[in-house]
């Protein structure tokens, strides 16, 4: 499988204290561990993103513990109140221990 590719939408600008909406998506199969291989009849082992974290200037602002019931290509929308300019960091953790991350800057005026 291709390397999961994170995609994040953060507004470039905001006013101080504004609540901004952040949309995130990562391409991932989210194999639930419930499906069977059609040829062998064996269960396909579970392989999902089990954790998503959003950090702002290093501080944890939002995180989600994910179970297999989340759809393939997990899509999450949430909001953050931005007090100052800074950088968001988004981290996805896979069942096999690898992490995928991306960063986005936001400029806060006023």
Partner 1 sequence: MNVSRRDVLALGGGAVAALSLGVSVSSVAVAKGDLVADAISKFSGGAEPKSGKVSLTTPEIAENGNTVPISFSVDSPMTSDNYVASVLLLADGNPNPGVATFNFSAMSGEASAATRIRLAKTQNVIAVAKMSDGSVFMDKKQIKVTIGGCGG
Which residues contact partner 1 (rule: CB under 8 A)?
Answer: 19-20, 32, 34-36, 56, 59-72, 74-81, 83
- CB of 80 vs partner 1, minimal distance in Å: 6
Residue 106 tokens read as 């936001």
What burial class does residue 8 get, using C-beta atoms within 10 Å of its C-beta: 0-12 exposed, 13-18 middle, 19+ buried? middle
CB of 19 to partner 1, least distance (A): 4
Number of Cβ atoms within 10 Å of the Cβ of 81: 12
Name which of 62 and 100 has its Cβ closer to partner 1: 62
Q: Which lies closer to partner 1 via its Cβ, residue 77 or residue 98?
A: 77
Tokens of 38: 């059609």
């Amino acid at each position: 499988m291709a390397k999961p590719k994170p995609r994040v939408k953060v507004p470039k600008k905001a006013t101080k204290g504004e609540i901004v909406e952040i949309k995130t998506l990562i391409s991932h199969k989210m194999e639930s561990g419930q499906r069977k291989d059609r040829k062998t009849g064996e269960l396909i082992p579970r392989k999902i993103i089990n954790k998503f974290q959003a950090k702002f200037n290093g501080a944890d602002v939002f995180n989600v513990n994910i179970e297999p019931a989340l759809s393939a290509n997990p899509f999450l929308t949430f909001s953050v109140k931005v007090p100052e300019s800074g950088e968001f960091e988004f981290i996805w953790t896979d069942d096999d221990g690898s992490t995928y991350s991306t960063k986005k800057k936001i400029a806060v005026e006023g």
